[in-house]
């Protein structure tokens, strides 16, 4: 047989004096304690060697809420160039230069410039521009300033002297940024294709290629057989025809169908090919 025994031990609670086990509580005057106040911040604060001094902690939490920049002549010229480029939606880079002494003022970094009007109302080498400076939703100052404007665009520049009828391959030219508002007005931007053009006049070495140096090439000639492509409404047809006119790229020429002998008009696509919309 198994026997279970319950061992009961006596449990004693002493209600004696326990004050002798406690150190006395010292309450000093508030004026003898140093109270350090801090604030939370999401900004990145440089770590210090320690926080032993309340003065160093105070310096760490000091922020300049009124940060300003100097709106100098170089800064306002940069801003005016950007604003004019946006106003006229042009590529390249627009540069604006003041022709009078500029008085520097202080603004916040997020100031804006509003163009009121420009005379003439287009990019021109010499312009008179009326504009306003706004800062944090408030008008700071109104201005009217004569400016020298430059519009720098990448253009084709001849590597060697090119005579009339020379090959217009891209390899014949270098690409350089040039102010197209002054001596190089009418220069051909490097973003344009030279296909379908030929030189109608000579271009000196180092000179920018201009539109008046070019003439369109007849891609379709009178009496030649051309390929005719017709499309529309999900239908695509190709046929042969004879051109009744000379035609440059995107020009309109008359075509006679070789099968039906009917005449119709078509748009020049490229060398010896035209397109008709059904």
My answer on whether 147 and 159 are in the same domain is no
- 113 found inside a domain: yes
Domain extent, residue 136, equals: 69-151
My answer on whether 223 and 211 are in the same domain is no
Rounded to an integer, the average pLDDT of 20-29 is 47
My answer on whether 76 and 142 are in the same domain is yes
- 225 found inside a domain: yes
Centroid of chain to Cα 80: 15
Q: Give pLDDT, residue 250.
A: 86
- 32 found inside a domain: no
Using CA atoms, how far apart are residues 183 and 277, in angstroms rounded to an integer? Answer: 43
CATH at 272: 2.30.30.760
- 39 found inside a domain: no
- 36 found inside a domain: no
pLDDT above 60: residue 95? yes
As for how many domains the chain has, the answer is: 3
- 64 found inside a domain: no
Using CA atoms, how far apart are residues 111 and 105, in angstroms rounded to an integer? Answer: 12
My answer on whether 73 and 147 are in the same domain is yes
Q: Give pLDDT, residue 65.
A: 52
Instruction: Summarize pLDDT for 99-123 with one digit per residue, the tens.
Output: 999 999 999 999 999 999 999 999 9
Q: Give pLDDT, residue 35.
A: 42
Instruction: Summarize pLDDT for 124-149 with one digit per residue, the tens.
Output: 999 999 999 999 999 999 999 999 99
Q: Give pLDDT, residue 28.
A: 46
**Beta carbons within 8 Å of 51's beta carbon, 6+ residues apart:** 57
Rounded to an integer, the average pLDDT of 69-86 is 95
pLDDT averaged over every residue in the chain: 80
Question: What is the residue whose two structure tokens read 């369109």?
Answer: 216
CATH at 195: 3.90.1210.10
Domain boundary residue among 151, 174, 190? Answer: 151
My answer on whether 92 and 142 are in the same domain is yes
- 272 found inside a domain: yes
- 23 found inside a domain: no
My answer on whether 73 and 124 are in the same domain is yes
My answer on whether 207 and 250 are in the same domain is no
My answer on whether 225 and 195 are in the same domain is no
Domain boundary residue among 130, 151, 172? Answer: 151
pLDDT above 70: residue 208? yes
């Amino acid at each position: 047989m198994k026997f279970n025994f319950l061992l009961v031990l006596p449990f004693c609670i002493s209600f004696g004096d326990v004050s002798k086990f406690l150190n006395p509580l010292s309450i000093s005057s508030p004026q003898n304690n140093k109270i350090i106040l801090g604030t939370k911040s999401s900004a990145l604060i440089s770590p210090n060697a320690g926080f032993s001094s309340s003065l160093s902690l105070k310096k760490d939490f000091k922020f300049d809420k009124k940060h300003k920049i100097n709106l100098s002549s170089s800064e306002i010229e940069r801003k005016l160039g950007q604003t004019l480029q946006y106003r006229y939606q042009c590529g390249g880079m627009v540069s604006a230069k003041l022709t009078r002494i500029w008085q520097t003022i202080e603004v916040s970094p997020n100031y804006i410039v509003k163009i009121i009007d420009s005379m003439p109302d287009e990019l021109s080498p010499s312009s008179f521009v009326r504009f306003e400076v706004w800062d944090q939703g408030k008008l700071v100052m109104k201005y009217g300033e004569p400016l020298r404007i430059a519009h720098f665009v990448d253009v084709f520049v001849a590597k060697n002297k090119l005579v009339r009828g020379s090959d217009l391959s891209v390899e014949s030219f270098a690409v350089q940024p040039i102010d197209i508002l002054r001596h190089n007005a009418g220069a051909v931007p490097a973003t344009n294709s030279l296909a379908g053009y030929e030189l109608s006049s000579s271009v000196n070495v180092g000179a920018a290629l201009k539109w008046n140096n070019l003439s369109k090439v007849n891609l379709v000639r009178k009496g030649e057989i051309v390929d005719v492509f017709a499309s529309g409404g999900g239908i695509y047809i190709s046929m042969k025809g004879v051109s009744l006119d000379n035609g440059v790229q995107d020009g309109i020429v008359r075509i006679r169908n070789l099968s039906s002998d009917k005449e119709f008009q078509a748009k020049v696509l490229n060398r010896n090919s035209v397109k008709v919309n059904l």
